[in-house]
Structure 1
Amino acid sequence: MTTTPNHAQVLPQRAGASIITGPWPSYVAFRGLPERERWVLYGSAKAYREALELQGFQMAESYDQFVRRVTAELEI
């Protein structure tokens, strides 16, 4: 039987929080979409990150790094 590696590494942090190190989804494949759809994807990515943070997760990638990466990948 082959096991699938867990790509979403979650490292324990003090006070019961967890740090999510990734890997995060890449949005490069969506560069060819019309600009409106790329902005919708950007909004969805931010909402997903916020939902995880509200559940107590802390991201290893800072918010500024996240925004720079996603906007560069979506070319917006």
Structure 2
Amino acid sequence: MKPSTPPKALQQNAGTSIIAGPWPSYSAFRGLPERERWVLYGSAKDYRASLEAQGLAMGESYDEFIKRVTAELEI
């Protein structure tokens, strides 16, 4: 088990809510066939884009998000 790291300080723009997490883990789905894992990956990206379109800012950068989700899904 990895030791927990303290959350990073987040800067907030006026009128923007920051979502720091925790985010759902996709590692439970790594046993699914590759096609289904790619569908989940697309869904995760769509969900994040939807939240951002509503004006929410993520505490996890997009690159960190992609790196985490692809590692959890092993794709």
Asked if Structure 1 and Structure 2 have the same fold, meaning a TM-score greater than 0.5 normalized by the shorter chain, the answer is yes
CA distance in 2, matches of 1:54, 1:21: 17
Equivalent residue pairs, number:
66
- Identity among equivalent positions (%) equals 77
More strand by share: 1
Q: What secondary structure, in the 3-state scheme, does the structure 2 residue paired with 1:22 have?
A: coil
Q: Segments of 4+ in structure 1 off by > 6 A? A: none
Pick closer, same or farther for the CA change 1:73–1:34 going to 2, 3 Å.
Answer: same
Aligned-residue offset at 1:14: 3.1
RMSD of aligned Cα (Å): 1.5
- Larger relative contact order (CA 8 Å, sep ≥ 6): 2
Structure 1: which 5+ residue stretches go unaligned? 1-10
Pick closer, same or farther for the CA change 1:63–1:12 going to 2, 3 Å.
Answer: closer
**Structure 2 length as normaliser, TM-score?**
0.84
Higher Cα Rg, which structure: 1
CA distance in 2, matches of 1:33, 1:58: 30
CA distance in 1, matches of 2:19, 2:11: 9
CA distance in 2, matches of 1:16, 1:32: 40
**Structure 1 length as normaliser, TM-score?**
0.83
Structure 2: which 5+ residue stretches go unaligned? 1-9
